[in-house]
Every structure is written in C-alpha cells, then in structure tokens.
Chains A and B, each alone.
Chain A
Amino acid sequence: MKAGSRLEKLLNQGEFVATAELGPPKSADIQLIKKKASILRGFADAVNITDNQTAIVRVSSIAAGKIALDEGLEPIIQMTCRDRNRLAMQADVLGAYVLGLRNLLCLSGDHQSFGNHPQSKNVYDLDSIQLVQMCKNMRDEKVFQCGEEIRNTKKSDIIEPRMFLGVASNPFGDPFEFRVVRLAKKIKAGADFVQTQCIFDLPKFKTFMQMVTDQGLHEKVSILAGVMPVKSSKVLQYMKNNVAGMSIPDDLIRRMEGAQDAKAEGAKICVEMIHKMREIPGIKGVHIMAVEWEEIVPTIVKDAGLWPRPEVAAE
C-alpha cells in the first residue's frame, strides 16, 4: 500500500471507481464547502478539490480539502505548478499529509492569463512530471527534492508524507501520437492514477486507449475516464471554441440544442458516456467533472448504476 487512501484501496480491490469534483468558493465561505461536501458524500469514492482552477483565486485546495475531509469526504488535493515553487510545494505536501489528506493530483495548471490575475508572476519552478517525481521520492525514497532526508534532526525518525499520486491526461491534445508517450512519462515519474480530460469524442478516445493498452500502460496505472455533464449546448460550444485540448463532436451539440430539457439531456449524455467507459478495456473508473453543478452528481451516479459506492474491504 503506497498511501493507504480509500481511493487506493478500492482500486486495489478491483472496484470500478467514481470520483467527482468540488470547486472551492471564491470567498471565505466555509458553509458552501460544507454544503457541497454534503451533496457529494456517499456518491463518490474520492473528490477532487480544485486548486485556483482556471487561474481564478479560490479557497486553497488543502484548506477546502481538510474541511471536506471533516465532512466525511475522501479528498484528492490538486496542486498546480503555476502558483508555487518547490519549497511551497513540498511544504504543502507535508501540510496536507499532516492534516490527514492522502491523495494528490499533480497538474501544470492553466496559465494565469486565463484567470482574474493575469498580471501575476508566473512560477512554474517545476512541471507536472517533475512534481509527481518529487512527491514519489518524498514518499518512497523519503527525501526532499534537494536530497535531504525527511527527518527533523539526524537522530529523529523519518516521517515522510505518503500520498497516492495522480496526474491528468489529455488524450486530445496535440501532437496526438505523443500523448501516449507523455502518459508513459508520467507513469515513469510515479503516477499511481490518471484522470483524463473530459471526453465527448468517443472514437478518438478509443483510439487513444488502444495505444495505451497496446503498451500495457493500463496495468501500470489506474486510468479514470473524465466525463462532464453539461447544462446547455452553449457550454459545449464555448468549450469547443475556447478551451484548449477539447474535442467535441458537432452532433453532440445538435443533440443538446434539440433537447426539451437541456440539463436533463446533459446528465443523460453523461450517464451514457459512463456506461460506454465501463466497456473500454483499461478504464478503471470515471471522474465526473460536474463543474459548479455538484448537485447533479447524485443523479448521475444513481442513473449510471454506480450507487451505492463500494466499501473498503476489511483487512
């Protein structure tokens, strides 16, 4: 057992896992975090707590994660490379571990020009692959990035932070043929699980997964397929035009346009996608990205036949 997190245990048990997302508030609104946590509790095996997503300032992932943990969720802390140097990153990993958090998703992070503070200084001391490697070394080699052992003094015990490490993967970025090589690199660096970008283009994703399974990568890492319920065709159109690394088929947009109840249709499409993901070899679970729509997750999880969530087997 690497970190002993609930997510890790369920994957080891061979369960088809379901993770979700909780977006922290843009103010010091502790009640909203608790509210979102209560909506998701029992419907996901672990919940990503986003980290200044799209470079917009929100309550930090670790802070919101601790509150979510106290509310009965299993958080997956997200850490971007955009806002922190290696000192802050390692301090945050120690801090997260000390607070009881056990899952960490390592991301490059959207460039700050996307968000509400485009004039800020850009950090990117490390990239996401180096971050995973650093966290893996903290856990397994029990050393900091500088090589020092993780102990208070030469005589103290080594107390290393043990995180279950995740990375993101975008099957639709370019160059397409390089995406699998990059995934392999992330696995080599120490990724334990992967959450893909949300998938709308099933054929292209299947091609990607074929390349992944051909190389046996699905056996080295647990791949969770990203799915996203959308509220309207406008959202899909926006993503198609403005969000880099998205592949959205036009007939999906048309289907949403023609729907009587767009939200219900969006949730239905998501459920269909989940069913399809269960049939793709190499997929060990789904990651439900109901961005700012946490309320829909219970419906989706139930309709997709994923409720109730499994229990961790007794030791």
Chain B
Amino acid sequence: MIVAEQKDITEIVKMIEGCQNILVIGCDTCVTVCLAGGAKEVAILASGLRLALKVQGKEAEVHETSIERQCEKEFVDALKSAVKGHDLLISTGCGIGVQTIAEQFPSLPVIPALNTKLLGLPEKQGVWVERCQACGQCILDKTGGVCPISRCSKSLLNGPCGGSQNGKCEINKDIDCGWHLIYERLKALNRLESLAEIMPVKNWSTSRDGGPRKVIREDMCL
C-alpha cells in the first residue's frame, strides 16, 4: 500500500499563514492504514492547528472531514458543498489525493499535510518498509520474489556489490542487502544456477524515467 508520513506540524502551520477558514480532509484508505491521514489523524491535526493558531494569537476556523478515498473523483466531488466557504483545504491524503482534490476544486488552494514516502507494508506495528518502485516491468519471478530495484540501494540486477556484509547493505546496517535476500531465497528454492546468468540491461522507459505513465483497459472504457 501507499505509505505516507505527516509533515512536521510547524511546516504545516507555516503553510496556513493568512488563512481564516480551513478544512482538513482525511482519507479512509491507505493513509488510515498507515496511521498518517485517517479521520483520527485529521482530528489530531485540526486540534493541533487550532491550538497553534490560538497560541500565535490568530483567529481562524479549522474544520474536519474525511472521505473513503481521495483518489476517486466521485468521492472528492461529493465534498462540493463541504468545501464551500473555506479559503484553504488541507489534504491528509497521499500525493494522489492532494492532486485529485486540487483538480476537482481548482479555485481553492489545497496543501499536503503528508509526505508520501513509499510503496510497502508494515514490518511490524508502527514500522513500514519499502518494497516496490512501480518500475513497470516486474521481474520477481526471476529473483525469488525479492525485488532488486527497490531492495538494493543501487538497484543492481547482477548484485550483490562488494559492499554487502553479513546480509546488510553498505549504506546502512539497518537495511538488508537485497541481493543477499535474493541469494538466500533462490538457494531455498534450489535455483541458485540462475544467478550465474547475466541479467540484461533494464528498460527504464516503463518506469517514471519514461515520462508520466498511463494504464488503459480498453475493454473497460465505454
């Protein structure tokens, strides 16, 4: 899932300067699950902003709401009446959510309360780790289900590099060496011979390097 993290509240307080009527909009999907921007976090942020404004001796209203998913135009559209009368929208959704709200309400400024960080999963409660780079050309069948693009710091396809030590990446002992994991996995699957083959140069044009991407299901377009 998409994992995001709330920005420092001092950064958000700076962004709302001069605004009098603010609506904080949450999202009930990914950012709820990663405890960054769901209804609960919206309430905390809104309360925090109200307190910060009062401490600064400023007058402003901060309202709260949340929708099922900010990445669906229909759900965002349903906020049409709710956004009226506000001079600023704060989205606690991921970057997609912020942009969808901005597109649907172009005359209202909308700011992000979160930094969208990664595609991943919780390693344990409170800790989310990166797993996918959305490179557009999945090769997990070749690497025993471990992604070298996202889990190797250098995205090597013929790793590991010389810096792999004790299964850890040279840049940080807290990062597992992706290629060490691939090696162990292929060993368990009895497929180590495949590592003797040279993996060819990657076609990066299917990833973001090729420009903003689009996916189309013709059979679904009416």
Contacts and interface: CB of A to CB of B under 8 A. Distances in A.
A/B: CB atoms within 8 Å of each other: yes
A181 B179 CA distance: 13
A244 B164 contact: yes
A189 interface: yes
A173 B198 contact: no
Given A111-B153, A174-B177, A185 B201 contact: no
Interface in B132-150: none
A13 interface: no
A228 B19 CA distance: 63
A127 B157 contact: yes
A170 B164 CA distance: 10
A303 B178 CA distance: 43
Given A81-B154, A173-B160, A245 B198 contact: no
Contacts of B195: 178, 181
Name B's interface SS. loop
Interface in A122-149: 122, 124-130, 133-134, 145
B154 A188 contact: no
Interface in B119-177: 153-167, 170-172, 177
Contact of A244 (B157, B163, B201, B202): B163
How extensive is the interface on chain A, given as a class?
35 or more
A256 interface: no
A313 B183 CA distance: 45
B63 interface: no
B163 to A, nearest CB: 4
Contacts of A125: 201-202, 204
Nearest to B162: A170
A245 B154 contact: no
A173 B154 contact: no
Given A125-B204, A127-B159, A129-B158, A174 B198 contact: no
Contacts of B170: 110-111, 244-245
Given A127-B157, A130-B158, A245 B204 contact: no
B168 to A, nearest CB: 8
B187 to A, nearest CB: 9
A130 B171 contact: no
A86 interface: yes
B204 A111 contact: no
A133 B158 CA distance: 12
Contact of B162 (A130, A133, A245): A245
B157 to A, nearest CB: 6
A138 B65 CA distance: 60
A197 B163 CA distance: 11
A127 B158 contact: yes
A168 interface: yes
B210 interface: no
Contacts of B201: 86, 125-126, 130, 134, 145
Nearest to A196: B162
Contact of A178 (B155, B183, B198, B200): B183
B154 A174 contact: no
A245 B165 contact: yes
A130 B203 CA distance: 13
A127 B154 contact: yes
Contact of B198 (A113, A168, A169, A188): A188
Given A181-B195, A185-B198, A174 B160 contact: yes
B164 A173 contact: yes
Interface string A167-203: 0111001110010011011001100000001000000
11 contacts: A86-B201, A111-B171, A114-B171, A124-B156, A126-B201, A127-B158, A130-B201, A168-B162, A169-B162, A174-B167, A244-B170
Given A111-B154, A173-B161, A244-B162, 6 more contacts: A110-B170, A127-B156, A128-B161, A130-B199, A185-B158, A185-B198
